[in-house]
Structures are given as structure tokens and as C-alpha cells.
Structure 1
């Protein structure tokens, strides 16, 4: 499928974990529903399609009735639910760091919390500092459906423990970070909202293509997406840029299986557009004073994008709201390719 498939990583508590998640995975707006947390009005099937059986990476999961209390164990699950018109009752994000970690979710989650606002729906205790799931905290949320991140249930035992609390859904793939459209369709299937998901996918593809269409020869323009470490550059999955109509540079590793690029080979960052995340301010300053980096084609052309933690989280947690945020973030630098 066409899409941005990225691995997600989660540092102490959810906020710190978000930074770790972005670091590991770069290294390896839809309207909010108006019915308050858990509301799921107006689904494709109106609730009459249940029980529904959904294929997951750990086997089939049956959801007996239309969910009323859905728990989201990360940025993407929350984004998907809200985009599909369902307000989660609990989301594994930290309200204290959400503006830094995932600013695109602040407004939608505040609305989803109703009169209680952001605090009513955010539940950082659902996950541990290393990105694991706190089963007791999840059970205390009394879910009747859990939307998890794929990496959280990679082994059967972890999945079974979570699924024993409530039906647990992730895409039917072994990938740690599935394609964004595959994620969305998986969540939609559990909610009987596949038609809505298909509409969102078509809309998003058209919106990105519209931005790319402003650039002559966009199909020949190349991209690279890297994290700038002290010892070199680590390729992340940049297939998000495919949505603009661009193509990966020859050495761009969207599979995240190749070796990192050493500092002496900085010149190999020769794409038309370079997106680079320097996890610290000091590393950013080093790049800005590094003659090898400053001689890169994208730097000289003004088509380098310096990413922050929010961008790294967005590209690693792709869903409709974060994708629209990314589109708006990247539109100026994509447009500069002219």
C-alpha cells in the first residue's frame, strides 16, 4: 500500500517514552466525535453488523457488540479513533508533554474529553517508561475494545494478556510499524467504519498529491530522512514523502535495515529534499557549523527540513490527523523544490 510505514518507539512515563520511541524508530484534521468519550454514533453499519471478527497479527479477534469504551494505547490509535468519529475513554499519552510530543492531538483530545477536557481522557499510566503496557491500568479503564500499537503485542503472550481484558486489535501484519492506511483500516474494521476509513484514505492521498503537483517533475525529486547521531546518520522510514509524489534517494533505506551512514560520508546525503532530526540542540549546532553538511545540495538549495521531536513522533505514528499536520509542516519545503 502507498503510505508512511514507520516504526514507533516510546522515555520515563509517556512523555519521555515518546522521545525514546521516536529515537528508536527513526533509527532502526478529522473532526473529533461530539458524543463524549466512548461515543460512536453513525457508524457504517449502525452497530447492526456485530459480532465482528477482525484479523490481527496474533489471530482473529471477535468483537461481540458495538464498542462503547475504547482504549487507545498510543498516538496512532487515538488519532485513528477520533478520525473515525469515536472518542476514546482513555489514551496512553501524557497531557503535560502532549503539546511537545504530539501537538496535533491536543485539540481533538481536549474535545474528546468533553467537560473534563484533556485530563479526562489522557491516561499516561496505561504504558510504562519502556513502552510496555500496564495491564492493571488498562483493566481499570474498563474497556470493551483496545486499539494497540503493533510493537506492543509482538509476542503471543503479551497479546493474550491484553486480549483477556478486552478484544485487542492491531493490523494483521508482522511489521512493527504498519502502513498508515493498513492501521486505519484495521481499526475501522473493529468499529464497523470501513467506508469512512476508505474516504479518509482517498482524501489524504488527494491532499498530499495536490501539494506535490505544484512542483514540476515531482516524480523525479528525491528525498532522504535521517536522524543525526554523534557518529553518523541513521535512515528512518521516509515513505511519507511518497504521498507527495516524490521518490526515495538511491540510498534511502525505508526498510530500516541498512547500516548507518558515517560522518565522513555526509556527502552521500545528496537528495533533493533532506529531512534531518538532530535530537539535541548541540547536535543541530554542530550540523550548522559542519562544512560537509553545509555543502549538501539540499542545504544550498534551501530544501533541508530540520525536524523536531513532534515531527519524529508524527512520522512514526501516522494517522489522519498527524498526516495532515505533517503535510502542512512539509508543504513549504516541498514547494521550495521549484
Structure 2
């Protein structure tokens, strides 16, 4: 099931994006044994060279890659889930426990925030120093052809073949798998994860009639995020749930419109959380009274926005009690 999302990933070093006007960061482990330092990174069956379609045209990978650089946790998660350990990941090792707890240990020793500049652009010099033979990136990181060409000149660079800012999780996984010649493994992961979500939801009688909403709480109201991931459980969006993220925010005086059976809400800061905790309108919502509110944090926002096999399984267990409470 493809989950449409737009936006940019949030990490500990980019937390300011989360609390600004970036509703786009809201959407929507089967990892193999880690290899040391990227050794035996892609145990290919000899199909190289491979030509892979990306967001900026075809890219040819001449040989099975052994040194793969991941420009962020989402790309690293895709690789790890396929049994491929990158040599370097564009993340800050100091913030991993808060931003990506489902994979913090796996990438702590290979994380390098210097791979991305302060303004969020790939640091070509630092990436080249890692001596990659493949770079896995997301479309928003190389949004124009010139930026892509510069990075691709360092090493073959693979992004999802879409103009969406943040491609569906299964599309991203399949594209990464194509680059490392592990498509069959990716397809198996996708089927297994979808079955796990369905299994949790099927325990709730009438799950298909239950609704969800996913919002970020701001000081002036609520902004809808893409919550299509909840549909993996069998839930359906509330009438006003805007997974396209194009509607106006919901004002505080209209808080009663957050009337879904399951409400997931992210209050990025203490002020926002204190505001909803002290708001009689919020506290009288059906989901609050029924105990079917999930209070999200930075890790959840990262996971739902840039989901992969490891984070999806983490999300499933995080949400399981709230989903089961619907029954």
C-alpha cells in the first residue's frame, strides 16, 4: 500500500524545521546482520553494471558497490534493512537516541553530520572523502539537476524516480534495493510489514469504520499532516483529515473538529503541550475521553515522515496500544 507523503525529514540538528511552518514533515526491522565498514556491502549475483532510473535521469552503477554513503537516516535504514551497511551516514551521532531510536545503535559509529552543510546541502568534499562507490539520497536533497549532477560526479547517486519531495516508503525502499541488487528482499519486507499492520488492526472489531487524524499542535491551532500510514491498520481518514497537507490549519476555537476515533497529535515544544493539556476543548475530545490519543514526539515525526522497514515496525509497536484501545 503506497503512502503519499511530502516533506523533509527532521533530525536533531534540523529540529527547527519541525516547529516552523514545515507541516510537510508530517505524514506518513527486518534488517540483516550489519557488515563492518561496508564490507560485502552488496552481495550481487553478477548483474552489474546496472542502469537505474532516478529523479534526474538514468545512472549506471558499474560494479557491485562496496562503499555506500547514505545521506540521512532514511537512506541508511533502507540499506540496513536490506543487509547493507553504509560506510557513512549523514546524521549527528549525538542526537540519534532522540531522533531515530529504532536504529541509533546501528549507525552511531558511522554517523557524520559533516556530510550535509549547515543549509542542508550535500557537502561534496566530505562525501568524496568517504570514497563512496554509491550514494543513496532523497529527492529533496538534490532537488535540481545541477545539484544532482555535482553529487553524481562524486559517485553514482540514486534517488527515487519521482518529482515528489518525499517519495512513498515502499518506492524509496525498492529504488535503493534496485541499486544494491536486492529487489526480492525489498518486496518480501514490504509484504511482511503490511501484514504486521493488518494483523494489529484486525484485532479491533469494525476497524474499517474507525477514523484517524494526525496533527501538529501549534500555538494558534492545528496543522494536518499526512497520516496515510494509519490506513495500514485498516483505519480510514476523518472527513477533514487532509493528507494532501494543502488545507488551512484548524483554529483553536474549532478544536472540537478533532473528533476522530484515534487522534495522533505532536506538540513540538513544552508550550504547545501545556496548551493542549490545559485546553478544555481538547480535553473534551472523544479520543481523549476514550484514551485513544497518541502523543507523538520527534522520533515519531521522523518515523512517520521518512518511514522504512525498521521505523515502521517501531511505529507499529508504538501505536499498538492506542489502536487496540479502539476495541
Counterpart in the other structure of 2:154? 165
SS in 2 for 1:164: helix
TM-score (norm 1): 0.91
What stretches of structure 1 of length at least 5 have no aligned partner?
A: 110-117
> 2: CA distance between counterparts of 1:224 and 1:172?
29
- Alpha-carbon distance, 1:139 to partner: 1.1
- Alpha-carbon distance, 1:15 to partner: 2.6
Indicate whether 1:314 and 2:303 are aligned: yes
Mapping of residues 193-232 of structure 1, within 5 Å: 193-232=182-221
- Alpha-carbon distance, 1:261 to partner: 1.1
Q: Which moved more, 1:183-192 or 1:123-132?
A: 123-132
> 2: CA distance between counterparts of 1:67 and 1:207?
31
| Residues 303 and 32 of structure 1, relative CA distance in 2, 3 Å threshold | same
Counterpart in the other structure of 1:48? 46
> 1: CA distance between counterparts of 2:262 and 2:309?
23
> 2: CA distance between counterparts of 1:21 and 1:50?
40
1:170-221 per-residue CA deviation (whole Å, 9 max, x = no partner) reads 1111111111000000000001100000000000000111100110111111
> 1: CA distance between counterparts of 2:218 and 2:98?
21
What stretches of structure 2 of length at least 5 have no aligned partner?
A: none
SS in 2 for 1:37: helix
Indicate whether 1:256 and 2:245 are aligned: yes
Mapping of residues 14-93 of structure 1, within 5 Å: 15-18=12-15, 20=17, 24=22, 25-26=24-25, 29-40=29-40, 43=43, 46-93=44-91
1:21-53 per-residue CA deviation (whole Å, 9 max, x = no partner) reads 58623369123434312134674xx34000111
SS in 2 for 1:104: coil
- Alpha-carbon distance, 1:9 to partner: 3.5
| Residues 287 and 247 of structure 1, relative CA distance in 2, 3 Å threshold | same
| Residues 37 and 321 of structure 1, relative CA distance in 2, 3 Å threshold | same
TM-score (norm 2): 0.94
| Residues 200 and 277 of structure 1, relative CA distance in 2, 3 Å threshold | same
Residue pair 2:219, 2:275 contacting (<8 A) in 1 also: no
Q: Which moved more, 1:209-218 or 1:121-130?
A: 121-130
CA-atom RMSD in angstroms = 1.7
Counterpart in the other structure of 1:303? 292
- Alpha-carbon distance, 1:153 to partner: 1.1
